[in-house]
C-alpha cells in the first residue's frame, strides 16, 4: 500500500484471509505458517509457527466481552447477538462437560481405568433387540464421550441367578429378565474404559484379563 499512497508515510497494510467457514480459515492458516513456509520464500517474513497445543487444547478459556463502545454504540440486534454468542461459550456441550466430570472423578479416585459391564446381561432375544435400546447405556456413554474402551469375554452365564432379579415391575427389565433366562452358556464380556488417548492402557488391561481368564 505504501507505493500507492506516497503521502501517507508509514502507512502499512495488514493482510488477512477471508473464508466462508472458520474451520477452513484455521486449515488455511495452519498450512500457511506450518514449518515457517513463508519465511522460506521471503526471509523478511517473521517465521511464526503453528501452535497446535493452543488450537487443539481442551483447557477451558476465560473470554471477556463487551456489547458496545461509547464512541459509536451498537444498535439493532447487534448487542443481543453478542450476548447470545456469550451464552453459547458459557454453556459447554454435554460431551465436553461430561468428559471433564468423568476425568475429575477418575483423578479423585486415583484410577487409570474403569472396569464395568458391557451389557446388563449376555444378550437380548433377537426379536426384542429394538425394544430395549436403553440397555446399551453401558457402552453408548463412552462412544459419546470418545473415551477408549475395549471388551474381552471373561465368563459364562449360568442362568442360576435370574429368578432372584428384581425387575421392579418395569416392562423393559422384564424383557431383559426373560432374555437372560434363555442365555445359559453364553459368554459374558467385561469392559475396560481408559482416559482419552490412552488406548495402550486399555489394551494392557484387556491383555492381562485375557491371560488370566477362567478356563471353565
Residue range of the domain that includes 65: 61-91
pLDDT at residue number 6: 55
Q: What is the mean pLDDT of the chain?
A: 79
Q: Is residue 216 part of a domain?
A: no
Tens-digit pLDDT profile for residues 121-166? 888 778 777 777 778 888 888 888 889 999 988 888 888 888 888 8
pLDDT at residue number 192: 92
* Domain termination residue (choose one: 42, 57, 72): 57
Q: Is residue 114 part of a domain?
A: yes
Q: What is the number of domains present in the chain?
A: 3
Asked if 206 and 127 sit in the same domain, the reply is: yes
Asked if 17 and 83 sit in the same domain, the reply is: no
Return the CA Rg of the chain.
28
pLDDT at residue number 2: 43
Q: Is residue 4 part of a domain?
A: yes
Asked if 80 and 132 sit in the same domain, the reply is: no
| Rounded-to-10 torsion of CA 145, 149, 153, 156 | -30
Interatomic CA distance for residues 201 and 142, integer angstroms: 16
Asked if 105 and 189 sit in the same domain, the reply is: yes
Within 10 angstroms of residue 201's Cβ, the number of other Cβ atoms is 16
pLDDT at residue number 175: 85
Asked if 76 and 6 sit in the same domain, the reply is: no
Q: What is the strand order of the sheet 149-156 is part of? A: 113-117, 187-194, 149-156
Tens-digit pLDDT profile for residues 83-93? 877 877 776 55
The residue assigned the cell 487409570 is 112
Q: Which three cell numbers stand for residue 71?
A: 464512541
pLDDT at residue number 8: 53
Which residues in the chain land under pLDDT 70?
1-16, 38, 45, 61, 75, 91-95, 216
Asked if 122 and 179 sit in the same domain, the reply is: yes
Asked if 185 and 134 sit in the same domain, the reply is: yes
pLDDT at residue number 140: 85
pLDDT at residue number 1: 38
Q: Is residue 191 part of a domain?
A: yes
Q: Is residue 44 part of a domain?
A: yes
Asked if 104 and 207 sit in the same domain, the reply is: yes
pLDDT at residue number 216: 66
Asked if 46 and 81 sit in the same domain, the reply is: no
Q: Which three cell numbers stand for residue 175?
A: 424383557
pLDDT at residue number 200: 93
Asked if 133 and 191 sit in the same domain, the reply is: yes
Amino acid at each position: 500500500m505504501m507505493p500507492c499512497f506516497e503521502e501517507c508515510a508509514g502507512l502499512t497494510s495488514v493482510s488477512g484471509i477471508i473464508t466462508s467457514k472458520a474451520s477452513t480459515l484455521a486449515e488455511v492458516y495452519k498450512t500457511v505458517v506450518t514449518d515457517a513456509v513463508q519465511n522460506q520464500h521471503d526471509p523478511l517474513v517473521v517465521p511464526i509457527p503453528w501452535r497446535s497445543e493452543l488450537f487443539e487444547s481442551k483447557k477451558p478459556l476465560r473470554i471477556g466481552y463487551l456489547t458496545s463502545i461509547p464512541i459509536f454504540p451498537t444498535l439493532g440486534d447487534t448487542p443481543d447477538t453478542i450476548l447470545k454468542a456469550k451464552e453459547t461459550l458459557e454453556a459447554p456441550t454435554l460431551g465436553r462437560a461430561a468428559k471433564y466430570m468423568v476425568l475429575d472423578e477418575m483423578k479423585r479416585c486415583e484410577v487409570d481405568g474403569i472396569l464395568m459391564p458391557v451389557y446388563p446381561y449376555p444378550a437380548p432375544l433377537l426379536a426384542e433387540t429394538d425394544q430395549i435400546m436403553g440397555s446399551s447405556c453401558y457402552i453408548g456413554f463412552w462412544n459419546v464421550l470418545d473415551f477408549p474402551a475395549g471388551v474381552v469375554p471373561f465368563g459364562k452365564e449360568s442362568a442360576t441367578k435370574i429368578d432372584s432379579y428384581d425387575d421392579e415391575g418395569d416392562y423393559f427389565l422384564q424383557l431383559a429378565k426373560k432374555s437372560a433366562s434363555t442365555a445359559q452358556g453364553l459368554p459374558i464380556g467385561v469392559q475396560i474404559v481408559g482416559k482419552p488417548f490412552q488406548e495402550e492402557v486399555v489394551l494392557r488391561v484387556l491383555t492381562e484379563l485375557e491371560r488370566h481368564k477362567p478356563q471353565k
